[in-house]
């Protein structure tokens, strides 16, 4: 069984590509509440992005709240994790391993898959140049094949790019991201909005609604996945001034590279 969390589609793409090779069933984490999650399979594979050199708080919380029967099953079978990231994981793999160990679950393997970067909320951070984006998209299927082979052969493996100063980034920056990186009230739509509703439809948290004039309104459940920003065909979604002049990315690209920059 594969459970994934995805904002802009990278982790969903990796999860479905993996499922095609391992024949596992695939479920989005947000549609499988942890208390109701049940499973009687041979293995569990979790797929999610790296956020600020750590694991998305939503995913950590999910692992912490998985039901006792689910965890009992996980203790009896193999558990694998695949993290998608733009460039580097920091100590996110260790964070995930610790969260699972806290539930008595042993990790058999963990990998990263480098995918197009979607983080744009800080100065100096933007989507990848198109050539880098294309290179990552052309390479990820062979990486997924490599991971699937390992899983099917039951080989223990830890293979990821932690990057420079991983301990410092995870210890110092990740807690700041948790405290200050997500301010839902900063999301607004500009006058370029045409009320198409894509930002509402794509939000994995159901955090965006349209008002009577079809203008999007953001609630307080944002997990900073950036899907609403990247999916907008008019680039009308803004996070304060942070998104000014930034590019967009979504997998699969819904409206073409030319319009996104
Ligand atoms: C809040 C946030 C923080 C991120 N932090 C990192 C990071 O620390 N390292 C990295 O390589 N990529 C980082 N990224 C990029 C994503 O991990 C990457 O684009 C991922 O594949 C997105 O997955 P998704 O499309 O399934 O949401 C971050 C993205 C977001 C939204
Ligand atoms: S996706 Fe963009 S254009 Fe469509 S409703 Fe949302 S903000 Fe408006
Ligand atoms: S409102 Fe937050 S959780 Fe929903 S799509 Fe936008 S960034 Fe993601």
Q: Report the run of H or E that residue 63 belongs to, with start and end.
A: helix 57-65
pLDDT at 36 over 80: no
Residue corresponding to tokens 């099953």:
73
- β-pairing, 208-210 with 216-218? antiparallel
Query: Which domains does the chain carry?
Result: 2-179 (3.40.50.360), 184-255 (3.30.70.20)
**How far away, in angstroms, is 163 Cα from ligand 2 center?**
36
pLDDT (tens digit, 9 = 90+) per residue, 188-220? 999 999 999 999 999 999 999 999 999 999 999
What is the pLDDT, as a whole number, of residue 37? 74
Q: Which residues contact 245 (CB under 8 A, 6 or more apart)?
A: none
pLDDT (tens digit per residue) in 65-101: 999 989 999 999 999 999 999 999 999 999 999 999 9
Ligand 3 proximal residues by C-beta, below 6 Å: 7, 202-203, 205, 207-208, 218, 222-228
CA angle in degrees (0–180, nearest 5) for 25-59-114: 75
Structure-model confidence comparison of residues 207 and 42, the more confident one: 207
Return the residue matching tokens 């947000």.
Answer: 30
Q: State which of 16, 48, 59, 85 you would mutate to test the pocket of ligand 1, scoring each by most atoms of that ligand within 8 A of its C-beta.
A: 85
Radius of gyration of the chain (CA): 18
- Strands 109-114 and 157-159 come out as parallel
**For 159-180, how does the pLDDT look when each residue is reduced to its tens digit (9 = 90+)?**
999 999 999 999 999 999 999 8
Of 173, 204, 157, 193, residue with least CA distance to 28: 204
């Amino acid at each position: 069984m594969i459970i994934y969390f995805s904002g802009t589609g990278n982790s969903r793409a990796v999860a479905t590509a993996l499922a095609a090779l391992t024949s596992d069933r695939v479920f989005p984490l947000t549609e499988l509440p942890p208390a109701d999650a049940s499973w009687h399979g041979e293995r569990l594979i979790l797929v999610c992005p790296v956020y600020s050199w750590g694991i998305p708080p939503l995913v950590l919380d999910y692992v912490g709240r998985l039901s006792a029967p689910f965890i009992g099953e996980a203790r009896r079978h193999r558990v694998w994790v695949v993290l998608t990231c733009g460039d580097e994981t920091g100590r996110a793999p260790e964070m995930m391993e610790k969260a699972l160990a806290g539930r008595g679950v042993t990790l058999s393997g963990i990998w990263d898959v480098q995918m197009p970067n979607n983080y744009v909320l800080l100065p100096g951070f933007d989507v990848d140049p198109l050539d880098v984006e294309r290179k990552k998209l052309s390479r990820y299927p062979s990486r997924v094949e490599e991971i699937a082979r390992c899983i099917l052969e039951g080989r223990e493996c830890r293979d990821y790019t932690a990057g420079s100063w991983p301990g410092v980034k995870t210890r110092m920056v990740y807690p700041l991201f948790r405290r200050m990186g997500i301010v839902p009230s900063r999301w607004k739509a500009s006058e370029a909005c045409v009320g198409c509703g894509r930002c509402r439809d794509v939000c994995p948290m159901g955090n965006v609604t349209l008002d009577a004039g079809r203008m999007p309104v953001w609630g307080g459940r944002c997990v900073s996945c950036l899907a609403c920003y990247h999916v907008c065909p008019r680039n009308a979604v803004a996070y304060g001034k942070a998104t000014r002049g930034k590019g967009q990315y979504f997998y699969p690209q819904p409206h073409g590279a030319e319009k996104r920059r």
